[in-house]
Chains A and B, each alone.
Chain A
Amino acid sequence: MPVSTSSAGLPLWQRRTTAAQWLRFAAWLFGLCLFLLCWKVISDNTMWVFVEDAGRQGSDLLRRMLPPRWEYAEKLWRPMWDTLNIATLGTALGVLMAFPVAFLAARNTTPHPLVRSLALMIIVSSRSINSLIWAMLLVTIVGPGVLAGIIAIALRSIGFVGKLLYEAVEEIHPTPVEAISATGASRLQVMNYAVLPQVLPAFAGISLYRWDINIRESTVLGLVGAGGIGLALNASINSLAWSQVSVIFVMIFATVIVSEWVSARVRRAMI
């Protein structure tokens, strides 16, 4: 903490040195300018007449959504079941693939640095690309339907689960690994006895967490044709049936809340 001497010869306390003060000021100024510049780009690309109209549009939308057409809910059970399946099967598939990738990507379990960079590549590409983009790709490849959704969710989950899991593997205690190696165990046996027990709880937690996220994600995959309740949502929006849209929203809200509750319960039971 810098203490300088004032003109009267008394020690003067400042929180930062003068140079640090200026640097901070410059950084804030730069940040502010960048923000204003970005804002300008957005504002140039916006039709402000529509925005002025937003309040009226919003209330209009609300009026058309209410009251919800509850009898539409009966047609939603099948799409909802599909959505749950996309999330669950997709998570299971993704977790199965992420498991080996994580061990190849962790510094302390990878067989070779080259393999490690390859595994990290897989993780980064899977993570960077949103599941909706994966779904768009897969719909053009395997055709519209639940299958595209399942694979999209699985591909997106590899990166998420793989990243968190390999970080957990890198954080294990090294002493049990040393001890098991010292018994003359083979590489696989060391994995099975010293590494796996240490990361299994993290693995279960991460998978559940991803399942939770995937339920949310799978509700919109239908917008690009990959099955589930998103298909119904898309159809209702295209036909401007807003009273059906509100029913779908209520369904999604309830499902997500329930899934969050379920995963919290399972997590507590497991750990």
Chain B
Amino acid sequence: MSLHASEGRLRAARQGQWRRQPFITGAGRRWALAVAVLAYLVLALGSVDVNWARVAEGAGRAVNFLAAFTQPDFTSRQGDIIDGLIESLTMTLTSTVIGVLLAIPVGLGAARNIAPLPIYALCRAIIAVSRTFQEIIIAILFVVMFGFGPLAGMITLAFATIGFMAKLLAEDIEDLNWRQVEAVRATGAGWWQVMNHAIQPQVMPRLIGLSMYRLDINFRESSVIGIVGAGGIGATLNTSLSRYEYGTAAAILLIIIAIVLASEYASSHVRRFTQ
């Protein structure tokens, strides 16, 4: 946008002619963008083949499923649901604790301003791998290695937690207030003392907040990695859906929603307490 409006625009405005300046300047570029978007939409939508007969058939099931929400069935698979939930919750807690503990050294190593280059490169590589792959993919590998069950799920979630937390922690450390660090260093403090007195107080509140958030994410993820055999409620849910037991599926989903709500409520309290 130019500093001063052009004479032409001023003259037109004086005559009462004024149009808003477009967000993208240059009519050519605007058209090119519109054509590109349109072309993409045509190509993309064209490659989605929809079996309308199947969709129509499924519509009835959708209605059944929505109806199931009005009378969820908590009882007929009670044992499976409870076992799955306990597995999910235990996996969530242990993986978050282990993941956060491991994320702290990785995060420190991935902060350019306090880590030497080789360590920085290594930690950044760990973060990149952990963040790129969806939890399910990692779960598949760990199930092959550690066998079916919640241990594989826990390791998966801990690994995903490392990437998530370490990246945010490293960013936090990279833009923390350097003057406080210098002040502590000026007292003659050693490396550990600098960490404890200058860096920890600055990043701690956010670290706690993020850990609570990650606990929430880990619970939601723990409800699906069961699909590939890594324990948790996901396996129960998958079975109930493939058997068209919508009442049980609705019950599980309602439980998940309730737990997420509760944890959100709790974490807002914890955050207020720690700040």
A/B contact in complex, CB under 8 angstroms: yes
Interfacial residues of chain A within 235-271, with CB under 8 A of chain B in the complex? 237, 249, 252-253, 256-257
Contacts of A140 in B (CB 8 A): 58, 61, 65, 241-242, 244
Contacts of A216 in B (CB 8 A): 132-134
Interfacial residues of chain A within 58-86, with CB under 8 A of chain B in the complex? 58, 61, 81-82, 85
**CB-defined interface of A14-52 with B at 8 Å, one 1/0 digit per residue?**
000000000000000000001101110111011100110
The answer to whether A4 has its CB under 8 Å from any CB of chain B is no
Q: Do A147 and B147 contact each other (CB < 8 Å), given the known contacts A130-B220, A216-B132, A256-B132?
A: no
Interfacial residues of chain B within 134-164, with CB under 8 A of chain A in the complex? 134, 136-137, 140-141, 144-151, 154
Report the separation of the CA atoms of residues A223 and B238 in the bound assembly, to the nearest whole angstrom. Answer: 12
> B228: which of A85, A141, A223, A257 is its contact (CB, 8 Å)?
A223
The answer to whether A164 has its CB under 8 Å from any CB of chain B is no
Q: Do A129 and B133 contact each other (CB < 8 Å), given the known contacts A45-B231, A50-B146, A143-B58?
A: no
**CB-defined interface of B95-120 with A at 8 Å, one 1/0 digit per residue?**
00100000000000000000000000
Interfacial residues of chain A within 210-238, with CB under 8 A of chain B in the complex? 216-217, 219-220, 223-224, 233, 237
Closest Cβ of chain A to B89, distance in Å, is 8
Contacts of B147 in A (CB 8 A): 46-47, 50-51, 53
Interfacial residues of chain B within 166-210, with CB under 8 A of chain A in the complex? none
Cβ A35 vs Cβ B94 within 8 A: yes
> A124: which of B50, B97, B261 is its contact (CB, 8 Å)?
B261
> B94: which of A39, A249, A257 is its contact (CB, 8 Å)?
A39
Report the separation of the CA atoms of residues A140 and B89 in the bound assembly, to the nearest whole angstrom. Answer: 27
- How many chain B residues touch A (Cβ–Cβ < 8 Å)? 61
Q: What interface size band does chain A fall in?
A: 35 or more
The answer to whether A102 has its CB under 8 Å from any CB of chain B is no
Closest Cβ of chain B to A59, distance in Å, is 10
Q: List the one stretch of B1-9, B70-78, B252-260 in contact with chain A.
A: B252-260
Q: List 22 A-B contacts (CB under 8 A).
A: A42-B91, A42-B94, A47-B148, A81-B47, A82-B47, A85-B48, A124-B260, A129-B220, A129-B253, A130-B221, A130-B224, A132-B227, A136-B241, A140-B65, A147-B50, A147-B55, A223-B227, A223-B228, A252-B132, A253-B129, A253-B133, A257-B128
